[in-house]
Amino acid sequence: MVTDWPETEETARPRQGDGLLGTVLKGAVAGAAAMWVLDRVDWAMWDAEASETRAETRRVRPGGLDPAHVAANRITGAFGKELNPSQPHPAGIALHYAFGMVPTIAYALLRHRYPVVAAGGGVGFGLAATVIEDEGMNPLLGLAAPPQDYPWQDHARAVVAHVVLGVVAEGVLRALDGPPGKPKRIVA
C-alpha cells in the first residue's frame, strides 16, 4: 500500500527506498558529474589567465603539481614507485575526482536531513568546498602552498569553479531524487 507522507517539513526527505546506499550512490554520481563540469570551467578560466599568472601558480605549487597529483605522487612514493608522468596521471585524476566525490556524498547525506545545507541550490556547498578544501585542508596537508602564496586570480578561479561544482551537484541530486512533490512511502 502506498500512502502520502504527513504534511510537514519532513516531506522534503528522500524517498523511502533510497536508503543509505542509494544516497551514497547518488552522491558519488553527482560528485563525478560535478567534478567533470568543474574541470571544464576551471580549465577555461586557466586558459584565459595571463601566462605570468599561470607561471606564478605553477611556481608556488609543491613540485608544480595540483593537490591531487601531489597526493598521488606521495602515495606511490611511499611504496617506492614513481608516477611517470607525474602529471597528468590516471592516479592523480582518480584522486582529483575522489576529492570532489567524497564531500558530495556527505552533502547528499545531509541535504534532506538539514535543509539549510542545500540552501542556495548548492552555492553554499561550493563555497564551503573552496574554503575547507582549497584554502584549508590542501595547504594543511602540504598538498598546496599556503593560500597567501597564490595569485588572487587562483582564488577567484577556485571560487567560481567550486560554486559550479555545488550547483551541478545539487542539480544532479535533484534529478536523481525524481520529480518534485510529496514522496511516497511503502507500507506493508
Q: CA-to-CA distance for 57 and 60, rounded, in angstroms?
A: 5
Q: Is 159 helix (H, G, I), strand (E, B) or coil?
A: helix
pLDDT at 186: 44
More confident residue, 183 or 68: 68
pLDDT at 181: 63
pLDDT in tens, 142-167: 999 999 999 999 999 999 999 999 99
pLDDT at 168: 99
Contact of 104 with 133, CB cutoff 8 Å = no
Q: What is the DSSP letter of 133?
A: I
Q: Which residues pair with 185 in a beta bridge?
A: 3
pLDDT at 85: 76
Percent of the chain with pLDDT over 70: 86
pLDDT at 50: 97
pLDDT at 54: 96
pLDDT at 111: 94
Percent of the chain with pLDDT over 90: 77
Helix, strand, coil content of the chain in percent (nearest 5):
70, 5, 25
Q: How confident is the model at residue 17 (pLDDT cuts 50, 70, 90)?
A: low
Contact of 29 with 176, CB cutoff 8 Å = yes
Q: How confident is the model at residue 15 (pLDDT cuts 50, 70, 90)?
A: low
pLDDT in tens, 72-120: 999 999 999 988 877 789 999 999 999 999 999 999 999 989 999 998 9
